[in-house]
Structure 1
């Protein structure tokens, strides 16, 4: 049995026919209804690997088959998930994914709206709850650098909804500042002059930073002693400026749990179930802002170009 997929080859996207995946023991086989494009997709495409690869690391769809050891889902379930970077992606008619990474789709969201959520939600949740250990009783000040982007758009909401942190978000354009304020940030500052604008609202600095664009010397200066910096960008960083303040540097990489088959990889599915409930209760809101029809090479090219521009507000989704 073959299926349509969009393959990345040497920096280009192509419509192809490939064998349909066979679900492994813990796998769901999902008919993909929508995918969201993230910077990781764009960076992987730009790496121009000569071997064909199916990208797509954010998806929503319907379960059409299950592996023999699946216990949480049945055929017909509507699901959403981030998936596993070490396996073929979801830019295809059918996609196999480990059930431990999957959540039931929020009933209040369409497939396209739901596809915008998993990767950024898991990145934000792991940064906030697993790396920083934040919870309902956590106080202090959190700086979110890149608050109008995909991760920032859900991170601001999670921090406001599920912690006691004061949230400062960065944005520069009028529309992005309005977006971040609408998500619940206590303060919105201009990241083009980050040091001065943060100090204007937090003269003594901040307790923690989660950053999509990590300039360690600037952020170390804004971070209080014994503070924590969580980086979600893919650059190499000199963490030396953090030493004088005994500040801690964390890498957040959403694919670490599935790639290393960590014993707690089911936490990703659990987090998506929790967020699904919060979305259905109206306590969180979706972050999709743009939709492109057509799960084809043409539709995905348009999406990759938009995300690669670095000016996206919220998330972009490609759907059937």
Structure 2
């Protein structure tokens, strides 16, 4: 069994996911890298590849970490298949002996109006975004239970606010659904007295350089990079969330910048700018609405469908 904390990162092949994996390994985590695409990393030259290119896979990230002296392994997983997710979790435990952290970074994107979002595209996003996350959580909970309910789950999903729905409703339905899962699962942990478990959501406050931001950009026009940050801000925020007390982060929906500023005292974010000296535009609201209401703890008689069904059998 690994003496290190063990993290399964789903969606770790490039961009933000790769950076999170590399930085967790540098922080003495053993990391299992999971994504759909694999490759023969030994044949990639020059190495390492552009982290935002198709040459970057879980296998090249694994090689990169191992060559730097870290602990890593890789597994193929298509999050549309619950059996593959189950296998990825089992493989993590087989290789490293345990599971302490899950980071769900997989995502499918289609930003357009409802009219211009085909049903096929809508279904794909729901499969990869909320359904993939739900299947991952369901598969992982028994392992957290065996470990005495000690662990962390970090989900890449947004704070909930109305502007997020604009112009990308189908995408927002899935991503906000992921944030609802974070809130609800956190309440489950709290209600059951699982006070050493925490589930947290993180989202970029400013656009981050990644495969998504590089796609379809003019190769000769780099002006858009002035509004981008390096993915290290995301990995720094995730590491800070993992170090924070459970009660601080359980059920939290936050951005990278806001968490680092408010919980870690960071005030200077200039080192994260892709273009030195630039001041990237914030894409998130300055303040998010609170979701709590006055009768938050007054549920009345709460129904449990499992008990209702059991009574009928």
TM-score (normalizing by structure 2): 0.36
**What is the TM-score with the length of structure 1 in the denominator?**
0.36
Higher strand share: 1
Using CA pairs below 8 Å that are at least 6 residues apart, which structure has the higher relative contact order?
A: 1
* Higher percent of residues as helix: 2
